[in-house]
Each structure stands twice: as C-alpha cells, then as structure tokens.
C-alpha cells in the first residue's frame, strides 16, 4: 500500500504550476551535485562536465533516490551520468542511426511503418539517457512544437492509411495538459485515427506527471490508448511507479514497456528476468528489448548480437512467453523493427 505522504494532492491549486513541473525544474543537472548526493568520488565530476557539454546531464531527484549510494556501477546511475567514454569516436556510430531524417513525412512527423505515424511532439525529456538515439536529433528545427503541428495534422488528414498516431519525442508528457488537449482535440477531425500510443519515460522517471489533470485528459480521449513506458532495470520500478501505472490503466490505457539492452546495466539473464517480473507486477507487459541504436557517444553501452541472442534465449527458457520481450533492432529503411532472433 502507498503511505499517505506519497499520495499526490488530487486537488491541485489552480494557481501556480503543477507539482510535476516543479519536480521537473528541480531535476539534477550538475554532475558535482549528483556525485555529492550519491557519495561518489568527485574525480568523476570533471569528465562528466566535459561530456555534458555535448548532451547535458538531467535526472529527476526521485530517480536519483532509487540509486545506491557510493556505487559508481549502479545500473540507474550508469544510464544518466555523463562519462569520458562518450567523447571517444567509434566506427559505425553516427548522428542519425535510425534514419529519422529520411523518414520525415512532414515537420515533426515520421512515417516509417504501415498504419502508424510518429509525431515528434517535443524535444524535451524529463531525463537525459546517455544512450539515447535522439541525442543528436535536430529538435530545434523539427519538433512539432509551439503550434508547429499544423503540417503534421494536415499530412495525417490526407493519409487515411494511418490508424495509429504515436506521440513521441523527446517525451510527449513534457507537454502541458493544455497542449495535449489541443492535440487530441485536433485529432477529432481525423476519424481514421483509432489508436493513440504514447511513448514516455515519465511514469518511470517522474511519476508525479501522472496526476489528476493528466488522468482526466487521458480518460477523456475517445480513442484506444496504449502507453509504452521505458524502464531498463527492475530497480527503477518503485511504489511511485506502480501507482502511476495503476492510474494509467485506470484511465483506460494498455501498458507496455520498451527497454534498451545496455552493457553493465541489464545485460544479464537475472536483470532482464527481474525486470519482466517487476513490470508484470505493475500490470505492464514487456514489449521490445532494443539492440542499442548506434549513436555517436553510446558505443560503450553496446552488447554484441551474439550475447544479445544468448540472453534472449536464456530468458525465453526461464519465463512465460508473454514476459519475454521481442529482441529487435531498428534498421533504417526496413518496414518494421527487425527481430534479432
Ligand atoms: C518504432 C517506431 C514505430 C512503432 O513501431 P511498432 O513496431 O509498431 O512498435 C512507429 N514509427 C516509427 C517512426 C518508429 O520508429
Ligand atoms: S527519455 Fe527517451 S527520448 Fe528522452 S533521453 Fe531518454 S531515451 Fe531519449
């Protein structure tokens, strides 16, 4: 059960910004502060600052609280702490590893697969994942932000083969409830869109986002709803995440998870099995386990295909089929995610 102190105030005062925006503004962005909070060797600070110049450090305090103090190998820390490894060049690791720039159907709209279009609804995220394939994405020019949805919506109106709209980013839950409402109101004029899918890491890294106002919006969207969260390790999933997932399901969403296979974070059968079990305990089915996208600065997270397949086989021999995520890679130009097995 959740203790009373963890239950968010359901009656948010109408003045002032919502609590989640406050938590977002208070995220840790200074490597020195992160190292101090976790009792880490301050020698990590200088390299972190150098790497953070390319892609800033950003991690919400609630997520930091789930990390082990004094452990530089903590699987949550490794996902967010900039390191000097990011600055070394690796062959085959580039700026647009998944061919996003070629798949642009309109400003902010990516159309790669049949029936599904993906709206890059904002460039902002609550957390900066060091392995992120969009760390070099030119959001400034191309996210459908600040009224820039018109072209994307026009394109969707014209293409009745699209039945599912995926809100991605960045993280679409960085948008205010008001902006989300504007977007889904506009979708009412597009009856061929039957499903709304939201790809978001907020329920995991900043579950405060799943508040009464957001849930009211979600429950009111007259489409089938799928929320795909993103957790890579069972340690990310605490009771605040469980509460957010329960509330999302209560608002009518089907819950799935996608993970990235990351060296030293979750590249063991035990870590992956624990993750699937912990997700299911929260009503979330494991959907995809992604092979790392080969984005510049993330080479040190790569797990070889041979190891990935062996892990997946071991997982399948240990868990019910519905708890085994599909091991896939995004291959530019392919008509679906490509299975590795
Ligand atoms: C991954 C992705 C999708 C969703 O693919 P599913 O296999 O349906 O999960 C859709 N559009 C784009 C551009 C994607 O990258
Ligand atoms: S939340 Fe998703 S889009 Fe944002 S930095 Fe992490 S992996 Fe990238």
What secondary structure does DSSP assign to 134-155, as a single string? TTT--HHHHS--TTTTHHHHHH
111 CA closest ligand 1 atom index: 13
Place of tokens 């900066």: 128
> Which pLDDT value is given to residue 119?
94
31 Cα to the center of ligand 1, angstroms: 33
> Which pLDDT value is given to residue 4?
37
Mean pLDDT for the stretch of residues 271-281: 98
More confident call, 142 vs 287:
287
Residue 326 Cβ contacting ligand 1 at under 6 Å: no
Instruction: Give me the long-range contacts of 312-317 (CB less than 8 A, separation at least 24).
Output: 312/340, 312/341, 313/341, 314/269, 315/269, 315/272, 315/273, 315/276
Per-residue pLDDT tens digits for 178-210: 999 999 999 999 999 999 999 999 999 999 999
Beta strands in the chain (DSSP E): 104-106, 109-113, 116-120, 164-168, 195-199, 224-230, 253-260, 285-290, 326-329, 338-339
Beta carbons within 10 angstroms of residue 19's beta carbon: 15
Global pTM? 0.93
Per-residue pLDDT tens digits for 52-63: 999 999 999 999
Which residues have a Cβ under 8 Å from the Cβ of 90 and sit 6 or more positions away? Answer: 296, 299
127 Cα to the center of ligand 2, angstroms: 7
Residue 332 Cβ contacting ligand 1 at under 6 Å: no
228 CA closest ligand 1 atom index: 9
> Which pLDDT value is given to residue 6?
38
Classify residue 69 by burial, with Cβ atoms within 10 Å: 0-12, 13-18, 19+: exposed
125 Cα to the center of ligand 2, angstroms: 6
Nearest protein CA to atom 9 of ligand 1, as residue: 337
Mean residue pLDDT of the chain comes to 92
> Which of 96, 113, 287, 333 for mutating ligand 1's site (highest number of atoms within 8 Å of CB)?
113
DSSP secondary structure, 164-205, as one string: EEEEESS-GGGS-HHHHHHHHHHHTT-TT--EEEEE-SHHHH
Query: 3-class SS at 112?
Result: strand
Contact 219, 197 (CB under 8 A): no
Query: 3-class SS at 128?
Result: coil
Residue 8 has pLDDT above 50, yes or no: no
Contact 234, 278 (CB under 8 A): yes
129 Cα to the center of ligand 2, angstroms: 5
Positive or negative: CA dihedral 58, 232, 42, 35: positive
- The set of protein residues with a Cβ atom below 6 angstroms from ligand 2 is 125, 127-129, 132, 134, 169-171, 201, 230
CB-side exposure of 340: number of CA atoms within 13 Å? 23
171 Cα to the center of ligand 2, angstroms: 7
Per-residue pLDDT tens digits for 261-272: 999 999 999 999
Q: How far apart are CA 253 and CA 180, in angstroms?
A: 16
134 CA closest ligand 2 atom index: 8
Per-residue pLDDT tens digits for 85-130: 999 989 999 888 888 878 787 888 999 999 999 999 888 999 999 9
Q: Which of 33, 28, 80 is nearest to 235 (CA)?
A: 80
Residue 198 Cβ contacting ligand 1 at under 6 Å: no
Which residues have a Cβ under 8 Å from the Cβ of 8 and sit 6 or more positions away? Answer: 19, 208, 211, 212
Q: How far apart are CA 311 and CA 214, in angstroms?
A: 37
> Which pLDDT value is given to residue 191?
96
Q: How far apart are CA 139 and CA 122, in angstroms?
A: 8
- The b-or-e profile of 88-98 (16+ CB within 10 A means b, else e) is eeeeebeebbb
Residue 2 has pLDDT above 90, yes or no: no
113 Cα to the center of ligand 1, angstroms: 7
Q: How many residues would you count in the chain?
A: 341
250 Cα to the center of ligand 1, angstroms: 25
Q: How far apart are CA 250 and CA 262, in angstroms?
A: 32
> Which pLDDT value is given to residue 5?
39
134 Cα to the center of ligand 2, angstroms: 7
Q: How far apart are CA 187 and CA 189, in angstroms?
A: 5
Name all domains of the chain by residue range, CATH numbers in brackets: 18-87 (no CATH), 101-339 (3.20.20.70)
Residue 112 Cβ contacting ligand 1 at under 6 Å: yes
Residue 138 has pLDDT above 90, yes or no: no
């Amino acid at each position: 059960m959740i203790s009373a102190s963890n239950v968010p105030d359901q009656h948010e005062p109408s003045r002032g910004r919502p609590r989640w925006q406050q938590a977002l503004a208070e995220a840790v962005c200074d490597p020195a502060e992160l190292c101090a909070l976790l009792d880490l060797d301050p020698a990590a600070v200088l390299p972190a600052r150098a790497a953070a110049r390319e892609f800033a450090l950003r991690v919400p305090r609630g997520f930091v609280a789930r990390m082990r103090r004094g452990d530089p190998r903590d699987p949550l820390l490794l996902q967010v702490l900039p390191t000097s490894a990011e600055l070394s060049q690796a062959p085959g690791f580039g700026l647009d590893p998944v061919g996003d720039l070629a798949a642009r159907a309109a400003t902010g709209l990516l159309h790669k697969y049949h029936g599904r279009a993906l709206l890059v609804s904002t460039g902002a995220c609550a957390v900066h994942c060091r392995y992120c394939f969009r760390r070099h994405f030119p959001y400034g020019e191309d996210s459908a932000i600040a009224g820039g949805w018109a072209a994307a919506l026009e394109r969707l109106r014209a293409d009745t083969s699209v039945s599912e709209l995926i809100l991605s980013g960045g993280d679409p839950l960085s948008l205010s409830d008001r902006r989300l409402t504007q977007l889904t109101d506009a979708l009412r004029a597009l009856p061929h869109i039957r499903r709304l899918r939201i790809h978001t890491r907020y329920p995991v890294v900043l579950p405060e986002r799943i508040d009464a106002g957001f849930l009211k919006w979600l429950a009111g969207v007259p489409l089938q709803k799928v929320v795909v969260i993103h957790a890579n390790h069972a340690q990310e999933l605490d009771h605040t995440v469980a509460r957010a997932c329960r509330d999302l399901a209560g608002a009518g969403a089907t819950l799935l998870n996608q993970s990235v296979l990351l060296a030293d974070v979750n590249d063991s059968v035990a870590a992956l099995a624990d993750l699937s079990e912990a997700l299911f305990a929260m009503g979330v089915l494991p959907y995809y386990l992604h092979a790392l996208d080969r984005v510049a600065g993330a080479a040190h997270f790569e797990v070889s295909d041979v190891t990935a397949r062996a892990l997946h086989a071991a997982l399948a021999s240990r868990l019910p089929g519905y708890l085994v995520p599909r091991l896939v890679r995004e291959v530019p130009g392919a008509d679906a995610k490509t299975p590795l097995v």
